[in-house]
């Protein structure tokens, strides 16, 4: 049964790849995970990326198509291979990655047909990893000049980042999402001492004129700052299967309500619930329906 989608579209830009785990390969990449979970929430989601002209690339395009995520904005690279990441999970269920380069998504080219699509999108989602190469970085900055609502998932992956570029991206963003470790890193980049969360976030907001900031804190919940108020939302307690993609799901949950202009409490309850739901599953893109998630959220709301 095909799920009815909301008329508002979200475009996610960046890496689409295979995460190679000891037990096998999974389709992944932070923007890809966001696009997948938005689709599951009933949002019309699109992926702008690039894959190799190889079996892994064909398999990724097939996977996107099977998940009803549009592939018409993704590109095929004739030279470079499809992206792969060698991943392993430590004893704390945290994922660690060896991100192979150069690969196809390092060479995403600007296309004129992106102009109308991005300018009309309800949100444009991007991260910092895609800026590690000049071609994809230049395309990103061109798209940022067009996008109306720019959502920056910082997603820092050492050594694949540049402090000046992160500063440039912060200046162009309407919404910035980060975890607690990334919040500390950004302060370090700015030579600012950490006092507390409020001081840290408001400093970043003021410096870069950012309207909204999200801070995910895992089992300690999440923070949402807009221009006027702070919202501190507790985590939804679950049994952890793995944490891969939980932050991406959190952002997708946030956007699924934010682009519909829901109230901040509903937006954040959706965000923390979807992040928890994915944490309780195996993998960043488990097979689930909107009804599955709605039931999970109802049951966990009832427990509070």
Tokens 């475009």 correspond to 11
Report the alpha-carbon distance of residue 147 to residue 123 in Å, rounded. 8
Residue 67 has φ and ψ, to the nearest 5°, of -90, 10
Tokens 């800026």 correspond to 131
Residues in contact with 164: Cβ distance below 8 Å, sequence separation at least 6, in sequence order = none
Task: Give Cα separations from 221 to 170, 227, 272, 273, 295 (angstroms).
Answer: 23, 20, 7, 10, 20
Whole-number pLDDT of residue 142: 98
Residue 261 has φ and ψ, to the nearest 5°, of 60, 35
Whole-number pLDDT of residue 1: 34
To which H or E segment does residue 14 belong? none
User: In terms of C-beta density within 10 A (0-12 exposed, 13-18 middle, 19 or more buried), how is residue 232 classed?
Assistant: middle
| Residue in 104, 111, 114, 96 with CA at minimum distance from that of residue 76 | 104
**Token pair for 267:** 């937006």
Whole-number pLDDT of residue 24: 84
Whole-number pLDDT of residue 6: 54
- Predicted confidence pLDDT, tens digits, the chain (304 residues): 344 445 799 999 999 999 887 788 889 899 999 999 999 999 999 999 999 999 999 999 998 899 888 889 999 999 999 999 987 777 776 667 789 999 999 999 999 999 999 999 999 999 999 999 999 999 999 999 999 999 999 989 889 999 999 999 999 999 999 999 999 999 999 999 999 999 999 999 999 999 999 999 988 999 999 988 999 999 888 887 777 778 999 999 999 999 999 999 999 999 999 999 999 898 788 899 999 999 999 988 755 4
Q: Are 6 and 43 in contact (CB under 8 A)?
A: yes
Q: Are 122 and 10 in contact (CB under 8 A)?
A: yes
For the chain, the distance separating the N- and C-terminal CA atoms, rounded to the nearest angstrom, is: 33
Whole-number pLDDT of residue 242: 76
The full set of domains in the chain, from first to last, is 29-48+111-297 (3.40.1190.20)
Half-sphere exposure of 143 (CA within 13 A, CB side): 35
Q: What Rg value do the Cα atoms of the chain yield, rounded? A: 18
Whole-number pLDDT of residue 95: 67
Q: Are 16 and 32 in contact (CB under 8 A)?
A: yes
Residues in contact with 79: Cβ distance below 8 Å, sequence separation at least 6, in sequence order = none
């Amino acid at each position: 049964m095909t799920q009815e989608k909301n008329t508002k579209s979200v475009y996610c830009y960046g890496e689409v790849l295979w995460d190679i785990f000891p037990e096998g390969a999974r389709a992944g990449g932070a923007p890809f995970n966001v696009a997948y979970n938005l689709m599951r929430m009933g949002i019309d989601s699109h992926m702008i990326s690039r894959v190799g002209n190889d079996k892994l690339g064909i398999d990724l395009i097939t996977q996107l198509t099977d998940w009803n995520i549009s592939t018409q904005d993704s590109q095929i690279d004739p030279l470079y291979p499809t992206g792969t990441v060698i991943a392993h999970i430590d004893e704390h269920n945290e994922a660690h990655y060896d991100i192979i380069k150069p690969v196809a998504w390092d060479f995403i080219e600007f296309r004129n047909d992106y102009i109308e699509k991005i300018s009309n999108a309800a949100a444009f989602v991007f991260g910092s990893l895609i800026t590690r190469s000049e071609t994809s970085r230049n395309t990103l900055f061109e798209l940022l000049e067009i996008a109306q609502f720019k959502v920056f998932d910082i997603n820092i992956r050492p050594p694949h980042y540049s402090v000046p570029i992160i500063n440039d991206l912060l200046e162009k963003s309407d919404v910035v999402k980060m975890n607690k470790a990334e919040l500390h890193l950004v302060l370090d980049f700015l030579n600012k001492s950490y006092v507390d969360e409020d001081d840290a976030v408001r400093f970043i907001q003021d410096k870069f004129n950012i309207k909204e900031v999200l801070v995910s804190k895992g089992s300690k919940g999440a923070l949402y700052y807009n221009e006027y108020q702070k919202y501190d939302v507790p985590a939804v307690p679950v049994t952890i299967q793995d944490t891969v993609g939980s932050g991406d799901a959190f952002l997708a949950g946030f956007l699924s309500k934010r682009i519909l202009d829901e109230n901040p409490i509903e937006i954040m309850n959706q965000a923390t619930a979807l992040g928890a739901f994915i944490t309780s599953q195996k993998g960043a893109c488990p097979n689930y329906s909107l009804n599955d998630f709605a039931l999970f959220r109802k049951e966990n709301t009832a427990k509070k």
